[in-house]
Structure 1
Amino acid sequence: MKRILKLAFSTIAAVLLLCGMANAQLNKFYFFNRARILIGSEDYSQAIQSLNTLIKVDSTIAEAWFLRGVAKYNLNDIIGAQQDFSKSIKFNPVYSQAYLYRGITLSNLSKHQQALSDFEATIDLRPNSPDGYYSRGITYLLLNRIEKSIDDFNKVIQLQPKNIDAWLNRGSAKLYKGDSLSALADYSKAAVLNPFYSEAFGKRGRLYYQMKKFNLALDDLDKAISLDSLSSISYFFRALTHSEVDQDNLALKDINTAIEISPDNALSIYNRAIIYWTIKEFKNALADFDRVIKLNPENVLVYYNKAVLQTSLEQYNSAIENFSTAIELFPDFANAYMGRANVHGRLGNYYQAQMDRNYAQSIAELYGESHTNALTDTTSSFTNLIAFSSDFTPRTSIPFIDEYESKPVDILPFFKVIATDMAKQSIYSQGFMAIDTLNTGLMQKGVMLTLSTERGIKSIDSIVDTASWVSHLLKAMEYSEQKRFNSAIELYQETIDLKPNNPIAFNNMAVAQAEMVTFIASFEDRVGSLRLNMTISTNTVSKNDIANQSDAYAEPIKLLEELIEMHPNNPYFLYNLGNLYTLSYQFENAVLYYSLAIEHNVNIAQAWYNRGLIRLMQRENELACSDLGKAGEMGIKQAYLLIHRFCKR
């Protein structure tokens, strides 16, 4: 039920002006208004940063929490948005918009009963507004409470007769009820009310397709695409329609466009594989089946059809493997047993072939004539194009995410002490005695040490008249920035020999050792940095992988463990150990140390982000999305890319 939230900003601003604007240190309205403008220009991440400033100064402004919730929602951070709307309600219990939008987020999180309570609160507070009825109608539709859904859309139409989305959704509710003619009438009414609204023609075109009125379907889908050239679902259904009238080349062209717009839509790729198969482009068909398996490894039909195609191409061993996978996913898949029996027969494995045929027949007899699932019926065919609910979301609707789409996803880097140009620093105290003590002398030379994940100065040769161990330390930092890791590690060790237990040298040496392992591994294709893709899971990591990674990072882990014994509450050292455990594939330990880092300093955004990554890999999506939302709130923009990929509902 994802939709862009539109706000009455002027009303919110007026309320904010009454919230005690007299503050000598901060102009609250400035930050609020800046956030409003940023949201209006869809710069949601920067809007959140502006609102963070406002909330930090005055956490009781309901409108600030509400607005930040809106920004998070539009970045697909549904959990974070829901939490912010709850805060807004806490500080203003009669804030109807906050109830409405919290209800929308709860519905997105499949917490439909809680969502209904919020929509009812919205209706109680604003009984003559269509918004509460509309959103409740959508939720009733998701709960399959069709009559109540229709009643709510009726109320919306009564209050707002030209609400096109209400006509469209009432039509969809009637279609679920089985009343296709009434649904068609509602879709047609929407098209009359706004002849420039693509979705009205798209929905009616899809209904015509289902009614097998293919010429009318093509007319409407052509119109929908002319109004919205990025509607991948319209291209998808037009491809299906072209296929039904034996226009395979046009079907292929449209399905290619649908995939270009929504590249991770497994359903479109699956159907393209079927089209390739039909036009005898078998290599492309197999490649698409493989792509679907990567995106949706539990899709039983793709393994089956891939096996059927491989059988026709005499790739018998691969066919048996894929028939077997289909059977493993659905043990009563009668046709998969028949297909595997056919391949065994061709290979001369007659006993195994007969075993599979007998089992297929027993399944058919068990279900008799009451096959509620086509997979149990040996007479069913599975090579037709299929259409069912799927995600046709375009590649991205968030401008800054494009910056990260093509980049590999990795954990954020280590914290280490670096040398920086003092003129570029605004905060001189680091809150860490070992660093602040050294900075007292170094700042006179225009250099300042700071704990950071960023790069430092590559050359600091001008500083030579310092104490011997400090000179070693600074030179080691320089070598590390130049990726001369062995030289850096030697100098860090010399520093420790001269100044035992120095936390800067301990931490930086551990980081240099880890960076050297990762750097070398990038050339040797052996071990290295973690890469998260669409299908990665901690379950896919073998014991051998864990052993190799643990050995590779054993030395820096030992160093940091020693350092943490000396400084058990330092959140940055805890975070770094979390990174090392991540690189060692020891994910439970990684989560533990990221959590400890957060416990000691909740403002380390990198710890929230990295813990979110690991939780994604562990399939703990709700916890992961919450962590990533917090990281995004604190300014880690790429967190919203992962939320966009994995947290949409």
Structure 2
Amino acid sequence: MSIGKNALYFEDYVLSIQYFNQVIKVKPYLLEPYFYRAVAKIQLEDYYGAESDLNNVLQKNPFIPMAYYARGFCNKNIGKLQEANMDFDNALLFSPNNQLYIINKVEVLEQMKQYDSALVWINFLIDISPKSIPLKFEKGKVLLMNSDTIAAYNVFSDIAKTDSLNADAWNAKALVNLLMDNEDNALDDYNKAVNLGTKNPGTFANRGIINYRNKNYRQALADFDTAVQLDSLDDNILFNRSLLRIEVGDYNNALADLNKVVSLNSESSEAIYQRGLINGLLGNYNDAINDFSLIIDKHPSFIPALYNRADIYAKQGDEKKAFIDRYNASEIEKKHKQGKDEINTNVKVNDDVNIDDAIASIASLFISESASDQNKGIRGLVQNNNFTVDKIDNFVVSYYQYKENNGIEPKLYNPLVIQNFNDSKLSPAKLYLVCKEVKLTEAMIALHFNSIDLLSSKIENNQTDAINYFLRALDYSLVQDFENAINDYTKAIILNSSMVLAYFNRANIRFKMLEKDNNEKWKNEMENSFNNSLTKNKDKIIDVDLIKSSYNSSEFEMILRDYEKVISLAPDFAIAWYNKANIYVYQKDYISAISAYTSAIKIDNDFGEAYYNRGLIYLITGNVKNAVSDLSKAGELGVYQSYSILKKINSLIK
């Protein structure tokens, strides 16, 4: 327990979870390991897994305010706002003046749009800490959200008077002035913020809008350029700069900005429409037609897109299509539907005034920034690392156990078939099941070639010993001679039809041969499927009933037959089920894959790799709830890549 706490303190969150798991296995009645494991999971943004642990804690002891707070924090981050509000209320029963609990409750009330209640709590905190600038910022923000613009302006003005060197105060005041159409006052406030050295891209973006409206194009462009330098991924800023560039006739650079906007936000109809106009002006007629067609598909009654596409068709000499578009536009006009579909192509005001940053220090006990965030290993906030999304590979038999240099001991899978073989002492060394193979050195390769020669001599003297063929096949596979490996495994099976590991290894080798030729293609397909699953566009989620595999080859059938034979001979061999499931994944038979992973998990409830792969397949097929549950369990069992995926899921479902 103490080692786990130390690991948690030093931000080794994944490692700490493994230690808490060990305590829970031995003493499941203790609440402390569940609580600390929940804290580690929160740091890794596994809010569902943490919530489950905290439920366990509170069932054991319902009088722990920090457990209510932590669970409320989880519920807040997964969008369960009513539950979060109740948890913070329960925490406040034990500690009524706790600023941490109250500010989190305020955030939940804001998300629930209960602004009046939020203001009551904020005023309560201000009474306790009347000089707190972050609390006053929060009050101004809530007033603004509650459409009480004048009261918000008064709050921000008061902050600017009290703390005149606070650039964020002038930013906030400027935004309210801008919202009230007091552009001259807003410009003065933004100038003060800039003079104070603000690095807020919204400041320059909004000042750019004011200068744009005032026809001060040179300064407006300079402001937009600065805003883009500060935040190159803000599609609103890029869109505004594109409009300015269009205004001054800089069409090529405007097109570059619009391309970037669409790459950042493929649903931006206004950017696609403007891009269509620019493509038309630049003579990129096919691109223009594609853009206008995207708009018309989404907004069939948007008349300008129909007329513009008609003009492009006419320029291409396709009068028939031009006539159809003009006719359709005319019919819509006659039916007075021109107001049905509209696209706002005006500049976009940036409402980022850094108010959230101002209260960040008091809003959360969790997810603190630290040097370990940049660690590319497994220390710290591993969910921020950009892991390649791919399923975990098949387990294979090897003489070598792979160990990562990360402090986490890999789970040693030692099923009965491996135990029995090792106990027989028939091999020169102990066999392991591994899903990541050791890269052999020249000395190791030479050792296996010598072993092949030795076993070949034995086979010449006795061609009826299945073990010698099996061991030579294993050597062949380790030196990448797959054809001879398969031949020897087949001979071993002929001599001993109940040799489980021979069937298992032959299936693995056959798959490796397929994988060698198709691995890059398969990985790309997996990555694309995963990326599509993390979109809010449900049309991109895979319908498992419509899947048709392009890999139903005879090779796959032979591989599956071998795994099925293994399972018939050793039905409790969980890893055979797991490998079989992986084959179904490559065949895109996701229903069968899920079933096989489930069989593996029923045999071994701590099979982290099976949870991880099943979680990915659930995600790809649109079952987010089950995906989150499986990925959380996989992370708990040491498959740390899960946390990066959970973070991406959280960003969509909040």
Higher alpha-carbon deviation: 142-151 or 587-596: 587-596
Q: Which amino acid aligns with 1:376?
A: D
Kindly provide the amino acid, as one letter, of the partner of residue 547 in structure 1: S
**Cα RMSD between the aligned structures?**
4.0
Structure 1 pair 71–189 and aligned structure 2 pair: CA distance change class (3 A):
farther
Residue 647 in 1 paired to residue 619 in 2?
Answer: no
Q: Which has the larger radius of gyration?
A: 2
Q: Which secondary structure does the structure 1 equivalent of 2:393 belong to?
A: coil
Question: Which one-letter code corresponds to 1:484 in the other structure?
Answer: D
Partner of 1:8: none
The answer for the alignment partner of 2:537 in structure 1 is none
Give 1:44's aligned amino acid.
Y
Residue 593 of structure 2: which of 585, 590, 595 is its match?
Answer: 590
Provide structure 1 residue ranges, at least 5 long, that are not aligned to the other structure.
Answer: 1-27, 227-233
Say which of 203, 227, 245 aligns to 1:254: 227
2:204 alignment partner, one of 231, 235, 238? 238
CA distance in 2, matches of 1:237, 1:508: 63
- 1:121, distance to aligned residue in structure 2 (A): 1.4
Is this contact kept in 2: 1:266–1:292, CA < 8 A?
yes
| 1:418 aligned onto 2:398 | yes
| Aligned-partner residue type, residue 423 of structure 2 | T
By how many angstroms is 1:124 displaced? 2.0
Instruction: Give the counterpart of 2:418 among 429, 435, 439.
Output: 435
Shift of 1:435: 1.8
Answer whether contact 1:307 1:320 (CA < 8 A) is retained.
yes
* 2: CA distance, partners of 1:584 / 1:631: 23
2:165–2:196: 8 Å Cα contact kept in structure 1? no
C-alpha deviation, 1:95, in angstroms: 1.0
Alpha carbons of structure 1 residues 272 and 548: separation in structure 2 relative to 1, 3 Å: farther
1:547 counterpart (543, 549, 554): 549
Give, in whole Å, the separation in 1 of the partners of 2:377 and 2:162. Answer: 35
- Pair 472,239 (structure 1): closer, same or farther in 2 beyond 3 Å: farther
Select 1:485's aligned residue among 482, 485, 489: 482
Contact 1:116 1:136 in 2 (8 A): yes
Q: Does 1:563 align with 2:538?
A: no
What residue is the counterpart of 1:352 in the other structure? 324
Aligned partner of 1:439: which letter? N
Q: Which moved more, 1:630-639 or 1:539-548?
A: 539-548
**Distance in 1 separating the partners of 2:179 and 2:624:** 35
Could you tell me how far 1:175 is from its partner in structure 2? 0.2
The 3 A distance-change label for structure 1 pair 633 and 344 is: same
Counterpart in the other structure of 1:132: 101
Larger mean CA deviation between 217-226 and 69-78 belongs to 217-226
CA contact (8 A) 1:342 1:353 kept: no
Distance 1:453 1:308, change over 3 A: same
> Per-residue deviation at 1:412?
0.7
1:531 aligned onto 2:527: yes
Query: Partner residue of 1:384?
Result: 347
Deviation at 1:337, TM superposition (A): 3.2
1:604 aligned to 2:607? Answer: yes
CA distance in 2, matches of 1:469, 1:274: 76
Preserved CA contact (<8 Å) 2:224 2:237: no
SS in 1 for 2:400: strand
Question: CA separation in 2, counterparts of 1:223 and 1:107?
Answer: 35
2:616 aligns with 613
Query: Which residue in the other structure is 1:14 paired with?
Result: none
**Which position in structure 2 is the counterpart of 1:49?**
18
Task: Map 1:316-327 to 2 at 5 A.
Answer: 316-327=285-296
Match of 1:16 in 2: none
Number of the residue aligned with 1:632: 635
Q: Residue 358 of structure 1 aligns to which amino acid in structure 2?
A: S
Any residues of structure 2 matched to 1:195-594 within 5 Å, and which?
203=172, 206-207=175-176, 210=179, 212=183, 213-220=186-193, 223=196, 225=198, 234-245=200-211, 246=217, 247-259=220-232, 286=255, 289=258, 293=262, 296-347=265-316, 348=319, 349-362=321-334, 365-366=336-337, 376-377=341-342, 382=345, 384-385=347-348, 387=350, 398-400=373-375, 405=385, 408-420=388-400, 431-442=414-425, 445=428, 447-456=429-438, 459=445, 460-461=447-448, 464=454, 468-522=465-519, 530-532=526-528, 535-537=531-533, 539=541, 546-551=548-553, 553-594=556-597
Residues 443 and 490 of structure 1, relative CA distance in 2, 3 Å threshold: closer
**3-state SS of the aligned residue for 2:532?**
coil
Distance 2:489 2:166 in 1: 66
Per-residue Cα deviation, 1:459-518 (whole angstroms, up to 9, x for no partner): 453654789433333333333334333233222222222221322122222222222212
* Structure 1 position 147, deviation (Å): 0.8
CA distance in structure 2 between the partners assigned to 1:400 and 1:292 by the alignment: 31
**Deviation string, structure 1 residues 219-259 (Cα, Å, up to 9, x no partner):** 43675745xxxxxxx22552343354233244234314413
Report the residue type matching 1:536 in the other structure. Answer: N
Contact kept in structure 1, 2:541 and 2:622, CA below 8 Å: no
TM-superposed deviation, 1:405 = 4.8
Q: CA deviation at 1:541?
A: 9.4
- Check 1:177–1:160 CA distance in 2 against 1; reply closer, same or farther (3 A cut): same
Measure, in 2, the Cα distance between the counterparts of 1:390 and 1:311.
37
Q: Please state how far the C-alpha of 1:197 moved relative to its aligned partner.
A: 8.0
Alpha-carbon spacing, 1:535–1:420, altered in 2? closer, same or farther (3 Å): closer
Tell me how far 1:182 sits from its aligned partner. 2.7
Secondary structure class of the residue paired with 1:549: coil
Deviates more, 1:491-500 or 1:270-279: 270-279
User: In 2, Cα distance between the equivalents of 1:402 and 1:196?
Assistant: 41
Moved more, 93-102 or 198-207: 198-207
- Displacement of 1:343: 2.9
Q: Which residue does 2:112 correspond to in 1?
A: 143
- Following TM superposition, by how much is the alpha carbon of 1:411 offset from its aligned partner in structure 2, in angstroms? 0.7
CA contact (8 A) 1:164 1:193 kept: no
Alignment gaps of 5+ in structure 2: 212-216, 358-366, 379-383, 460-464, 534-539
Whole-angstrom CA distance in 2 between matches of 1:339 and 1:568 = 66
Letter in 1 for 2:634: A
**Bigger mean CA deviation after superposition, 385-394 or 169-178:** 385-394
Tell me whether 1:154 sits opposite 2:134 in the alignment: no
Moved more, 540-549 or 69-78: 540-549
Aligned residues: 595
Describe the SS at the equivalent of 1:417.
strand
The residue identity in structure 2 corresponding to 1:139 is V
* Bigger mean CA deviation after superposition, 144-153 or 561-570: 561-570
Q: CA deviation at 1:163?
A: 4.7
CA distance in 1, matches of 2:352, 2:472: 60
Question: 1:442 offset after TM fit, Å?
Answer: 4.2
Deviation string 1:535-588 (CA, Å, 9 cap, x unpaired) is: 335757999994322326333233223333333332211111111111122222
> 1:164 & 1:553 partners in 2: Cα distance?
66
Separation (CA, whole Å) in 2 of partners of 1:634 and 1:192: 54
Q: Which moved further from structure 2: 580-589 or 155-164?
A: 155-164
Task: Report the CA distance between 1:97 and its aligned residue.
Answer: 1.3
Contact residue 150 and residue 173 of structure 1 kept, 8 A: yes
Percent identity between matched residues is 22
1:516–1:79: structure 2 CA closer, same or farther, 3 Å change rule? same
Q: Give matches, 1:67-78, under 5 Å.
A: 67-78=36-47
Pairwise CA distance, 1:448: 0.9
Higher alpha-carbon deviation: 87-96 or 535-544: 535-544
Contact 1:62 1:91 (C-alpha < 8 Å) held by counterparts: yes
